Chain A
Amino acid sequence: MDDTLGIIIAIGLVAILMFVFPLMATAERTDDISQLAVQTETTKFVDKVRTTGQLTLEDYDKFYSTIVDETSDSFDIEMTPQILDENPGVKTTQAEITKIGENFYYTEYTTQVLEELNENNKKVFKEGDIFAVTVRNTNKTIAQLLKNFFYRISGDDTYQIAAQHSGIVTVNGSR
């Protein structure tokens, strides 16, 4: 009897040690790699918009499919460009439209950007606009599932993979 209990506990521990821990470790490393890949792609995507002054539907689709293909996770892409107000005169008397940093920005959000992309196939930015993208995973990665199962500490809304990049657009996009 004594023996059986010991063996059962031992088998349970062995199972945890030999399968679950390596699986968790591997799953976390996979997430790290996904994180790196998503960060790289996000940086590339944002920098392309910054240096060409335009965001095309093609670029967006390509970006989305690349990160999904590379990681096999699903993502929420949040684009929040800040657009230089073309009429700064309503707020101050001195500001010049062409002087970057002296005037005001208004923010557009993902749905507005996507709407414009679907309508015109592209969105054009001005020199001085700021383009910011945040990417977060929306599914549960294997590491998250395992963690939830064993630790029960991560909430429903936490994300494992998140990438962010932003910067000033340095050129007026061609229309």
Chain B
Amino acid sequence: MKLQNMAIIFIIIILPISIALSTYVDSQAKTINMQTSYDTMLYSSTYDAVRAFQLNTVNNRYSSVSDSKIRDIEAAISSFYNSLAAGFGSMGYDESTLRNYVPAMVYTLYDGYYIYGKFKNTYSVSNVNDGKDTDGDGKGDTAVDGVDPGKTSMLQDGYWTSEDYFVEPDQYQYGLKPYIYYSIRYVKGSDDFVVNYTLDNYITIIGTVDGDYVTKSGYLINPNLVSGMVENNGVIEQIIYDGVNIERERLNEDLLILNEDPATGDETISSRPENFTYVEYNGKKIYYDSSTDQFFRYSDNYKKMYINDYATNNYARARLRSDGLWSDSAGQFYKEALDFSSWVNAHLSDITVADVVYDDGTQANPNGIVIPKLAEDESTDNTLIATTGTACIFDTTSLENNPTDRSSNFNEHRMGVIRRSITTNLISAIANFSQVSTESYEFVLPLISEEDWDKVLNNICVITFLQGIPVGNYKFYNNYSIVTNDKNKEFVADDSIYIEEAEADRNKVPGSEHHNPGDRSLDQTKEYIAYSNIDYIRQNVYLSNENYYYFYPKTSTACYNCIVSIPYNYDIQDIINGNTIQDVDGRQIDFSNSNIRKAVVTGLARCRYSLYKSNEILNT
């Protein structure tokens, strides 16, 4: 056979193979592209949900109140669907179709979380009055009541009987399921109690401890680190925590006030924001108006709401100096944490992970918290994490178990509890969705990576799942997205504060800057003051359509270097713990006596003290 004939035969054989292969590779590539674009859309929709939550809560002065919070979350979820529908719109999916592919959304908050999904509302419409025929046309009023509008046979006395319901009284609906706390039960001897954990070292203990029924909550710290408290008429002038001298601070911020003329009732907005000093009382800011020598709250309609309440007035008056209010919240924080921690150490110091009892009654593995294994997890059969072993979780007097330290036994245990709680509830929520979904796809919780768990266990975040959308090649999309919310009023993370020079802040020096506490260029000898990052967010004053104003409570501008080049900043944990480190320039930096550490520790304590905590009322 000639060479060219052989070549032709070769080509005739190879050509179809290569065409088939390239088509196959092409379709695989398309599938991957589609998955990537779905990932992007899921992420950006989740981000929009977080953004909407931030914008809504920052401008909501009652955002800590439960009902108001639920409302903010539901609004954020509806933003998620709006955004998802806008993204998927070009592919022909609308919002109601997309709902069939979202088995669950998780909103983790400070002390627990909400799962949003489809569930059976067991509220029954068996009360036949619901199906009343009010317009008297002999037909049921609405289909919403569950009555077939066309039915006439069973009408009795103007009411429908239960046989007329054409649907099951128990309806499936989308909504937030009840709030779930990060909690776990311990039983040891006569002790039987539940501990609610949070994203930091704040815990609530409910149950029988040493024969008494107690409900206590507070920050768990090492009680040996607190000393030198100077108290004057209930005001903590000074307290020392881990070598940091915590003193009172003068806090101030700007407000744009809507003034009302008492005679005419005319409302005028101030031409520029006014500066006031404040203290925080029960999670609300109390401002001092030096012109009238009165205290006020900033109301939801942007007015000064003068305070008549005796206790609040007394609290503020006791903290008033000649140049305004001086807060002792940081001192109060450590005083209360000391009381609580001393009690916990005296009563619960012998509790270990072996005393944990799960909700199904099973005793815990003595080595750690058991996390259920996920369907996709083939890597290991070891489902234990948080291996605290025989260590005593609540004995915080030793240096190894300082609850503020991320690697402490307490913290490992806390993360194990939260992870178990979220995993078990999500597995069942997503599996249940398979039963109620109109899609034939079997919904299961995908494997969440360790990095993502780290985000969930230490931040407020939103986890969304999108599953079951066909992506070609007989494959279905199954992924999740986690976006953390670092600007919120729920939780003060270690890195959610900025510092500025105390002198400049007091005198409101124009053009001053606020810094990341880890900024390497800061002069460690100057005095600093820390504020929450929320205070630097723009607030809006919304009077009517097209008539709105903006203002910044804290007017200093962000320092360019320390906020842009975060990788070069000092680690916030090193600053808080007062470690000695060697920086990239080879300098030895000792944070133990640094003024920055003082500002950070004081600022964090103050912000945490002022947080609204739903379990605080349980304190007895």
Contact = CB atoms under 8 A, between A and B. Distances in A.
Q: Do A and B come from one complex?
A: yes
A97 B542 CA distance: 10
20 contacts: A3-B2, A6-B5, A10-B4, A13-B15, A82-B82, A86-B545, A97-B542, A99-B72, A99-B75, A100-B52, A100-B76, A101-B75, A127-B55, A128-B55, A130-B82, A134-B89, A162-B90, A164-B90, A167-B47, A168-B52
A164 B93 CA distance: 14
A52 interface: no
A132 B76 contact: no
Nearest to B47: A167
Interface of A: 3, 6-7, 9-10, 13, 17, 78, 80, 82, 86, 97-102, 105, 127-128, 130, 132, 134, 162, 164, 166-168, 170, 172, 175
Contacts of B44: 166-167
Contacts of B2: 3, 6
B95 to A, nearest CB: 10
A9 B78 contact: no
Given A17-B11, A100-B55, A168 B4 contact: no
B584 interface: no
Interface string B77-115: 111101100110110000000000000000000000000
Interface of B: 2, 4-5, 7-8, 11, 15, 37, 44, 47-49, 51-52, 55-56, 59-60, 71-72, 74-80, 82-83, 86-87, 89-90, 540, 542, 545-546, 548
A134 B92 CA distance: 13
B71 A167 contact: no
Contacts of B11: 13, 17
B66 to A, nearest CB: 16
Contact of B7 (A10, A101, A105): A10
B83 A166 contact: yes
B76 to A, nearest CB: 6
B8 A9 contact: yes
Q: Which of B8, B60, B540 has the most CB of A within 10 A?
A: B8
A166 B37 CA distance: 12
Nearest to A28: B26
A121 B76 CA distance: 32
A9 B4 CA distance: 9
A164 B79 contact: no
B72 to A, nearest CB: 8
Nearest to B73: A101
Contacts of A162: 90
Contacts of A127: 55, 540
Contact of B90 (A101, A134, A172): A134
A82 B55 contact: no
Given A99-B71, A101-B78, A166 B55 contact: no
A127 B548 CA distance: 12
Contacts of A97: 542, 545
Given A99-B75, A102-B78, A167 B8 contact: no
A1 B4 CA distance: 14
Given A82-B86, A167-B44, A101 B77 contact: yes
B121 to A, nearest CB: 20
A171 to B, nearest CB: 9
B56 A100 contact: yes
Would you list the 9 A-B pairs with minimal beta carbon distance, nearest first? A101-B75, A101-B79, A166-B86, A101-B78, A102-B75, A100-B52, A132-B86, A134-B90, A168-B48
Contact of A168 (B5, B83, B545): B83
B52 A128 contact: yes
Given A101-B52, A101-B77, A127-B55, A6 B4 contact: yes
A101 B52 CA distance: 7
Given A7-B4, A100-B52, A128-B52, A168 B79 contact: yes
